[in-house]
Amino acid sequence: MAKKMLFMVLLSHIILCFSVVSSLNLNASLVDDKGIPRFIYVCDPERFNILGLDMAQFAYCDKSLPYNVRAKDLVDRLTLVEKAQQMTDNSSVDIPRIGLPHYKWWSEALHGVAETGDGTHFDSLVPSATVFPNVILTTASFNKTLWKTIGQAVSTEARAMHNLGRAGLTFWSPTINVVRDPRWGRTLETPGEDPYVVGVYAVNYVRGLQDIEGQENTSDPNSRPLKVSACCKHFAAYDLEEFQGVRRLEFDAKVVTEQDMVETFNRPFEMCVKDGDVSSVMCSFNRVNGIPTCADAYLLKKLVREDWNLHGYVVADCDSINEIVKNHKWLNDTVEEASAQVLKAGMDLDCGKSYLKLVDAVKQGLVKEADMDKSLNYLYVVLMRLGWFDGIPSLASLGKKDMCTEENVELAAEAAREGIVLLQNDNETLPLDPAKFKSFALIGPHANATDVMKGNYAGFPCKFITPVEGFSAFGQVTYELGCLDAKCPNDTTIQSAVDIAKNADATFLFVGLSTAIEAEWRDRKDLLLPANQTLLVNKAAEASKGPVILVIMAATGIDISFAKTNPKIKSILWVGYPGEQGGRAIAEVVFGMHNPGGRLPITWYENNYVDKLPMTSMALRPVGDYPGRTYKFFNGSTVYPFGYGLSYTSFKYEYNSADMSLDIKLNRLQHCQGLPYNDTNYKQNCSSVSIDDLTCNDEITFEITVQNVGSRDGSDAVLVYSVPPEGIVGTPFKQVVGFERVYLQANESVNVKFVLNVCQSLNIVDVSGYRLLPSGLHKIVVGDNAISIPVKISYSR
Ligand SMILES: *[C@@H]1O[C@H](CO)[C@@H](O)[C@H](O)[C@H]1NC(C)=O
Ligand SMILES: *[C@@H]1O[C@H](CO)[C@@H](O)[C@H](O)[C@H]1NC(C)=O
Ligand SMILES: *[C@@H]1O[C@H](CO)[C@@H](O)[C@H](O)[C@H]1NC(C)=O
Ligand SMILES: *[C@@H]1O[C@H](CO)[C@@H](O)[C@H](O)[C@H]1NC(C)=O
Ligand SMILES: *[C@@H]1O[C@H](CO)[C@@H](O)[C@H](O)[C@H]1NC(C)=O
Ligand SMILES: *[C@@H]1O[C@H](CO)[C@@H](O)[C@H](O)[C@H]1NC(C)=O
Ligand SMILES: *[C@@H]1O[C@H](CO)[C@@H](O)[C@H](O)[C@H]1NC(C)=O
Ligand SMILES: *[C@@H]1O[C@H](CO)[C@@H](O)[C@H](O)[C@H]1NC(C)=O
Ligand SMILES: *[C@@H]1O[C@H](CO)[C@@H](O)[C@H](O)[C@H]1NC(C)=O
Ligand SMILES: *[C@@H]1O[C@H](CO)[C@@H](O)[C@H](O)[C@H]1NC(C)=O
Ligand SMILES: *[C@@H]1O[C@H](CO)[C@@H](O)[C@H](O)[C@H]1NC(C)=O
Ligand SMILES: *[C@@H]1O[C@H](CO)[C@@H](O)[C@H](O)[C@H]1NC(C)=O
């Protein structure tokens, strides 16, 4: 009897095992009832046992072999249909025959793990992740260490979520398109308008996401381990959502000059790939000069893959191939033809389903199966570097305890504090002394903000601190929204808000924009405060008993000239979209627990700027009647210039060394290139040399003494620009070549050292896209012309 029962138990066990394999449900055996994976990596012999397989038979799991050999073994085991599935973000299926589970490629981590993409999901097990400020505000800190530290915190949470089965390992962040036009809806996602600053942000954030400490440098970059995989997007010349009926899905960005490509649009991507060693680049929706970027072999194969030497994969923005067919109607191709074209151009992974048609494309002879194998190899090598096959022991213990830690939430608050920009502070109204000011009226659509502080591409916050809550720690708060949201179409709620200003010791007006006004798909039409917000500001200011402080929550610049000249409005703060701790960070700045040191990473133009040129005009330099764009090419009057920002203290710069000069000896085979001068009588015997033709080892080293001459401790962002020699037509007025944020106690001074490579920092890009080092008198300018150091370059033979 007993024997028989044992036999039956065994039999049912065998049947169970058999049914697991035969129903091909890999999932069930690999996750527990909470959906937590029992195995967080593929090549575990026990996992193969459950599938009835012997792992030793699969070379792709042999750790002694190089990644590309293992990847080849895996790819060779796939059928054509399976290959096509593996080349899409979300259509791969479990292949129990060879022990391979499906993988969802799309996760996002722009400023914290986001809910966007099928690779990630939040639920009761992981309800939240730290929501850092939007990138535009974090950039305003000009603090490289901060940028990298946030990347590290985000990747720790991302990896923890992966271990819990809640996120993938491939995160399609950051967004590093240069802000060319002040109307662009996705400005909040970006590091602003300067290509170099954007590039430095990209490198630091990507290294924070990807690098594993101690393993940053390996001799073979294709086996360098990755904490998570980052993606620099969207390549290239993409910065328009919708302008007068022209949508990004069919926009043909033209005429984009090679000069603007090299100097502006491509530069952050080049830095991201070369210096950040990012493991993925995403091509964009738009066309550049007629060609959809995802189908442009010059951009993808030549630049990204070959010249910049990408170690990783190229992914298409979601449904791009379909848009080529449906909206661009480029060459009128079928989905099969478009898929073949983009694959041949160097696009490895489709976010969408078009690549499933590669099966037919191969059968029709439009593309070779070997081209698919090459892309699959890139994809699997990245997953191997991420430990998806073998695990990464040092990251295995990350889990729930690593989400929303006190340290990460504090870092989110710190990022907001460091980014906040003080735009005006008449008569040193700020900081307010809570001993003297005890009651506060908080007015405006963002006075009690929660979700607005998240911006876009965000997850669910650990804990919001609204402005109302943040200010309540310092005194008695009354609040009235005045407008129910940023769109403020209605003036009926204004009066009740005005009333509370009459009795408070100080009034704070929380105005600005939201993702209902600036976001993906949504460009602005003007640069004003929306609808009745201006009325709200003026009425509340007029009625206020105490000083009025304007707090602007927005990403793009707003023409607030009317508020600058209103004598009741003493102080103005720009707070971006400050993330989950925003309310606390703003209050800590207002009451002097933190001295603001942020600087604007974009120009704030006057509203009439947008009447002078359409968004669709791509040129950075002035063309015809159109003014130039960004601080590099626009010298008209602004509301606030790029790099602007005040402090509760003041800083003085000093430079005591001699002027610099450099004579570069050329050999017979190094040739000079002419430059267009505005004065035809102005002749140099050697105007310039291409930096690709020079050795470029020369460096300019100098130290600036920064002194805090005020009475409060504080931080200063020291911005260093180069100014090209006068008289060369078409150069930027100046360009950022270095920056450093420093913290100084009152009366303290520090020496800040800069080491600039002459070729990298003093080159100009000519109309053909050559990077040239001009001879003549260059200048290194620190801050707002506070210091100007002449650097003379000459060539001799
Ligand atoms: C595998 O698990 C995922 C996530 O838990 C689920 O969405 C999917 O439907 C499952 N697939 C199968 C074949 O059960
Ligand atoms: C991704 O795949 C899952 C099934 O695995 C499906 O439910 C979901 O709708 C897909 N998402 C997209 C964007 O295709
Ligand atoms: C820059 O950021 C780091 C990391 O958050 C921080 O420790 C440091 O104090 C910041 N530097 C300045 C000058 O604010
Ligand atoms: C890796 O190389 C960079 C320079 O490329 C250097 O700054 C860094 O210290 C190196 N890291 C390690 C761990 O060797
Ligand atoms: C695509 O088709 C349209 C309408 O049939 C035609 O006008 C256009 O010239 C075609 N374009 C190309 C590149 O063949
Ligand atoms: C600053 O205060 C002085 C004296 O109270 C006053 O005359 C002046 O108008 C104030 N300036 C501003 C810009 O508020
Ligand atoms: C202010 O925010 C808190 C917390 O989100 C919420 O409970 C309250 O209802 C909000 N007040 C208004 C007027 O929206
Ligand atoms: C303004 O808001 C009030 C109260 O919410 C509402 O009754 C009224 O219809 C709104 N008017 C307009 C023009 O939207
Ligand atoms: C202010 O609100 C009223 C309705 O309450 C509306 O008629 C008016 O157009 C709004 N003003 C602006 C500038 O939008
Ligand atoms: C501004 O730049 C334009 C050309 O872009 C030039 O014509 C004009 O003189 C400049 N104005 C100033 C004040 O420098
Ligand atoms: C050339 O431009 C410089 C400024 O960049 C100016 O000082 C000079 O007067 C100009 N020369 C002529 C002939 O226009
Ligand atoms: C330019 O002219 C100077 C003086 O005539 C000479 O010393 C120098 O070698 C020349 N430079 C080149 C590149 O020919």
In which residue are the tokens 């200003």 written? 501
| pLDDT tens readout for residues 365-377 | 999 999 999 999 9
Q: What spatial distance separates the first Cα and last Cα of the chain, rounded to whole Å?
A: 103
Q: Which residue has the higher pLDDT, 769 or 218?
A: 769
Indicate whether residue 24 lines ligand 5 (CB < 6 A): no
**Where are the strands (E) in 656-698, listed by range?**
660-665, 688-690
Average pLDDT over residues 43-53: 93
Q: Give the Cα separation of 255 and 618 in Å (integer).
A: 7
Cα–ligand 1 centroid distance for 28 (angstroms): 8
Q: Give the Cα separation of 51 and 18 in Å (integer).
A: 9
Q: If DSSP codes are grouped into helix, strand and coil, which group holds residue 788?
A: strand
The closest residue, in CA terms, to atom 2 on ligand 4 is 217
Q: Which residues are catalytic?
A: 317
- On the question of pLDDT at 24 being above 60, the answer is no
Residue 519 host element (H or E): none
Band of residue 14 on the pLDDT scale cut at 50, 70, 90: very low
Closest ligand 2 atom to residue 90 Cα is 1
Whole-number pLDDT of residue 39:
87
Band of residue 683 on the pLDDT scale cut at 50, 70, 90: confident
- On the question of pLDDT at 317 being above 50, the answer is yes
- On the question of pLDDT at 624 being above 60, the answer is yes
CA 595 to chain centre: 26
Cα–ligand 5 centroid distance for 332 (angstroms): 6
Cα–ligand 2 centroid distance for 133 (angstroms): 29
Q: If DSSP codes are grouped into helix, strand and coil, which group holds residue 781?
A: strand
- On the question of pLDDT at 2 being above 50, the answer is no
The closest residue, in CA terms, to atom 14 on ligand 4 is 217
Whether the CB-CB separation of 266 and 303 falls below 8 Å is answered with: yes
In which residue are the tokens 């923005």 written? 317
Whole-number pLDDT of residue 15:
34
- On the question of pLDDT at 292 being above 60, the answer is yes
Band of residue 17 on the pLDDT scale cut at 50, 70, 90: very low
How many other CB atoms sit within 10 Å of the CB of residue 516?
Answer: 12
Ligand 2 pocket, Cβ-based, cut-off 6 angstroms: 90, 118
β-strand pairing of 699-708 with 548-553: unpaired
Band of residue 30 on the pLDDT scale cut at 50, 70, 90: low
| pLDDT tens readout for residues 77-106 | 999 999 999 999 999 889 999 999 999 999
Q: Which amino acid is at 291?
A: I
Provide the CB-side half-sphere exposure for 732 (13 A, CA).
25
Q: Which amino acid is at 58?
A: F
Closest ligand 7 atom to residue 481 Cα is 13
| pLDDT tens readout for residues 564-578 | 999 999 999 999 999
Average pLDDT over residues 57-69: 98
Tokens of 617: 């005009």
- On the question of pLDDT at 4 being above 70, the answer is no
Q: In percent, how much of the chain has pLDDT > 70?
A: 96
Q: If DSSP codes are grouped into helix, strand and coil, which group holds residue 757?
A: strand
- On the question of pLDDT at 542 being above 50, the answer is yes
Ligand nearest to the CA of 564: 6
| pLDDT tens readout for residues 159-185 | 999 999 999 999 999 999 999 999 999
Least confident of 113-117, 384-388, 681-685, 694-698: 681-685
- On the question of pLDDT at 23 being above 50, the answer is no
SS (H, E, C) 399-435: CHHHCCCHHHHHHHHHHHHHHCEEEEEHHHCCCCCCC
Q: Give the Cα separation of 192 and 455 in Å (integer).
A: 16
Q: Give the Cα separation of 227 and 209 in Å (integer).
A: 7
How many other CB atoms sit within 10 Å of the CB of residue 37?
Answer: 17
Tokens of 243: 């302008």
Band of residue 786 on the pLDDT scale cut at 50, 70, 90: confident
Whole-number pLDDT of residue 6:
38
Whole-number pLDDT of residue 22:
33
Whether the CB-CB separation of 222 and 311 falls below 8 Å is answered with: yes
The structure's pTM equals 0.94
Whole-number pLDDT of residue 35:
75
The residues facing 673 across adjacent strands are 688
**Of 488, 491, 493, 529, best ligand 9 pocket probe by most atoms within 8 Å of the beta carbon:** 491
Cα–ligand 11 centroid distance for 723 (angstroms): 14
**Of 27, 36, 166, best ligand 1 pocket probe by most atoms within 8 Å of the beta carbon:** 27
Whole-number pLDDT of residue 392:
97
Q: Give the Cα separation of 233 and 227 in Å (integer).
A: 19
Whole-number pLDDT of residue 34:
79
How many other CB atoms sit within 10 Å of the CB of residue 13?
Answer: 10
Tokens of 416: 């907001």
